């Protein structure tokens, strides 16, 4: 979900209908090398039934679109799979599809019975031109545009638009009001996709009087420069590559982290410096952090990676929930969670201190930890690359 120029930060947040344990709105995001596909589906009604139907809709749409199936064929599959309410004569799930081309920033929206999107350019709302088209027997609203740096796109389920305190119809929160609300939020500095989505959902909940009358979902999409991170962990298997790895690290355009005692010494030797250790940052099971010029963070290797993996699983959705304690695992977790694009230069060498050096590289502890951390980060829609050295 990033390219050489822009990253498309996507943050979906939902509010369950009062009394329901699950949300009848479902969101699925698929980040590919050249494009991002996202689907928001609103299941008819609320609760488990709505959740299942909305989830089926998102799965069908995303999987078929990933396979480049024609839109008519996709909708026909959805129509045949999901029933229609015989009483209300409505489809059991509505949806909106968003596709973003990474190379150009061009996006396309396909909406079926969903509220229009809100596009902010220069913090001002812009109404997208929409055309109607019947595909697979369904009347769709299609629109397109280009996301440039700083642009914000907001998608929502109708539970957001119809938020009110149940007093009169005049208290309804319509599209114009939501657009104006987003403009104000953008102008007061709430710039991230997550912050904008949180602002809308909180206002939606307030307008419902704390008891939502419907499931409500808002998705914020922000086009911005990517936050990049390189993690150098473990000495290269071929020590002749030490200098090349250090130079890649030092010339990297982004934050730089060194994870491992030997790795730190390799960088320090290149710089003609020594790693300064902050013993006050040591914790039970987490060695202290170190300091080197031009490097944002220096930590120990295996023990810190293992604790970082645990923290990512516990706090994966929000770096702000991490403990305030500045130990190596917390600081490494924060670097990983705040980055959009992450490159690991990771050693396949076996550290004899932690395991038998006679074991094959394929079962090295470092390799296992880096692989597991990568899996967690990819679930968070981060662009992660591992180069084994």
pLDDT tens digits along 200-215 = 999 999 998 888 989 9
pLDDT tens digits along 162-203 = 886 554 444 567 899 999 999 999 988 666 898 999 999 999
Beta strands in the chain (DSSP E): 7-15, 25-31, 35-43, 93-101, 106-112, 118-121, 124-126, 131-135, 138-146, 152-156, 216-224, 228-233, 255-259, 276-278, 289-291, 297-299, 341-346, 383-388
Tell me the mean pLDDT in the region 95-117.
Answer: 94
Of residues 81 and 140, the one with the higher pLDDT is 140
Q: Is the pLDDT of residue 78 over 90?
A: no
- What per-residue confidence (pLDDT) applies to 4? 53
- What per-residue confidence (pLDDT) applies to 204? 93
DSSP per-residue letters across 51-96: HHHHHHHHHHHHHHHHTT--HHHHHHHHHHHS-B-TTT--BSEEEE
φ/ψ (deg, to 5) at 91? -65, 150
Local confidence band at 13 (pLDDT 50, 70, 90 cut-offs): very high
Domains of the chain as residue ranges with CATH: 7-224 (3.60.40.10), 228-388 (no CATH)
Q: Is the pLDDT of residue 54 over 80?
A: yes
- What per-residue confidence (pLDDT) applies to 265? 96
Q: Is the pLDDT of residue 2 over 70?
A: no
Tokens of 175: 């599209």
- What per-residue confidence (pLDDT) applies to 167? 45
- What per-residue confidence (pLDDT) applies to 319? 67
Q: Is the pLDDT of residue 360 over 90?
A: no
Among the ranges given (20-34, 80-94, 187-201, 307-321), the one the predictor scored with the smallest mean pLDDT = 80-94
Cα distance between residue 343 and residue 232, in whole Å: 9
Local confidence band at 88 (pLDDT 50, 70, 90 cut-offs): low
Among the ranges given (108-122, 149-163, 169-183), the one the predictor scored with the smallest mean pLDDT = 169-183
Q: Is the pLDDT of residue 157 over 70?
A: yes
pLDDT tens digits along 293-317 = 999 999 999 999 999 999 998 876 6
Tell me the mean pLDDT in the region 121-138.
Answer: 89
pLDDT tens digits along 318-357 = 667 788 889 999 999 999 999 999 999 999 876 665 555 5
N-terminal to C-terminal alpha carbon distance within the chain: 25
Q: Which residues contact 284 (CB under 8 A, 6 or more apart)?
A: none
Tell me the mean pLDDT in the region 100-125.
Answer: 94
- What per-residue confidence (pLDDT) applies to 138? 80
- What per-residue confidence (pLDDT) applies to 171? 55
Instruction: For the full predicted model, state whether its pTM sits above 0.85.
Output: no
Tell me the mean pLDDT in the region 105-124.
Answer: 94
Q: Is the separation of the CB atoms in 215 and 16 below 8 Å?
A: yes
């Amino acid at each position: 979900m990033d390219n050489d120029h822009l990253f498309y930060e996507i943050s979906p947040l939902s509010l369950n209908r009062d009394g329901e344990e699950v949300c009848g709105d479902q969101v699925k995001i698929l980040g590919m090398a050249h494009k991002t596909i996202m689907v928001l589906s609103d299941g008819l009604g609320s609760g488990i039934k709505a959740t299942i139907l909305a989830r089926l809709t998102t799965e069908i749409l995303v999987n078929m679109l990933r396979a480049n199936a024609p839109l008519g064929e996709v909708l026909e599959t959805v129509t045949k799979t999901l029933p229609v309410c015989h009483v209300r004569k409505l489809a059991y799930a509505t949806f909106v599809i968003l596709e973003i081309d990474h190379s150009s920033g061009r996006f396309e929206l396909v909406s079926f019975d969903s509220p229009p999107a809100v596009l902010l350019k220069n913090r001002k709302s812009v109404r997208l031109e929409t055309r109607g088209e019947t595909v697979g027997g369904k009347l769709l609203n299609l629109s397109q545009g280009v996301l440039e740096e700083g642009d914000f796109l907001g998608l929502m389920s109708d539970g957001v638009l119809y938020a009110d305190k149940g007093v009169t119809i005049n208290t309804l929160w319509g599209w114009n009001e939501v657009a104006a609300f987003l403009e104000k939020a953008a102008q007061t500095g709430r710039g991230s996709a997550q912050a904008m989505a949180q602002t809308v959902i909180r206002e939606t909940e307030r307008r419902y009087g704390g008891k939502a009358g419907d499931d409500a979902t808002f998705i914020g999409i922000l086009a911005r420069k990517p936050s990049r991170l390189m993690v150098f962990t473990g000495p290269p298997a071929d020590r002749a590559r030490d200098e090349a790895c250090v130079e890649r690290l030092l010339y990297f355009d982004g934050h730089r982290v060194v994870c491992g005692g030997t790795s730190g010494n390799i960088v320090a030797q290149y710089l003609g410096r020594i790693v300064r250790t902050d013993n006050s940052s040591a914790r039970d099971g987490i060695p202290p952090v170190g300091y080197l010029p031009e490097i944002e963070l220096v930590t120990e290797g295996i023990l810190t990676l293992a604790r970082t993996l645990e923290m990512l699983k516990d706090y994966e959705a929000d770096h702000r929930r991490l403990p305030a304690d500045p130990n190596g695992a917390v600081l490494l977790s924060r670097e990983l969670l705040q980055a959009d694009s992450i490159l690991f230069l990771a050693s396949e060498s076996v550290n004899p201190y932690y395991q038998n050096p006679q074991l094959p590289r394929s079962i090295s502890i470092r390799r296992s930890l880096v692989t597991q951390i990568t899996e967690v980060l990819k679930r968070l829609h981060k662009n992660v690359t591992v180069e084994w050295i």
